Amino acid sequence: MEQFKNLSISQLIDKLSEYTAKYSQIRTEGGLKKEFEDCRLAINYLTYEIESRKKPPDSDIVNDSQVIFFDE
């Protein structure tokens, strides 16, 4: 999956679409077990990579690690 490391999110989404289409084709028309497994692994990896690159939404919620207390 090293070939996906330097792709942008939009490129990752395109690849995910390609592998999903190929996966669906193999499921309906048949194919080699290795191709099926390679597609499944690529889909899992691409999904993980896209999710991990998403930025968390800005929030007004403050947690304890963001609060600094000063002695008065």
Residue of 4 and 39 predicted with greater confidence: 39
Q: Where are the domains of the chain?
A: 7-53
For 5-60, the pLDDT digits (tens) are: 889 999 999 999 999 999 999 999 999 999 999 999 999 999 999 998 887 666 56
Give the type of residue at 68: I
The pLDDT of residue 3 is: 83
Contact residues for 41 (Cβ-Cβ < 8 A; gap 6+): 1
- Among all chains, which residue has been given the structure tokens 């193999």? 26
What is the phi-psi region of residue 3: left when phi exceeds 0, alpha when psi lies from -120 to 50, beta otherwise? alpha
pTM of the predicted model as reported, rounded to 2 decimal places: 0.71
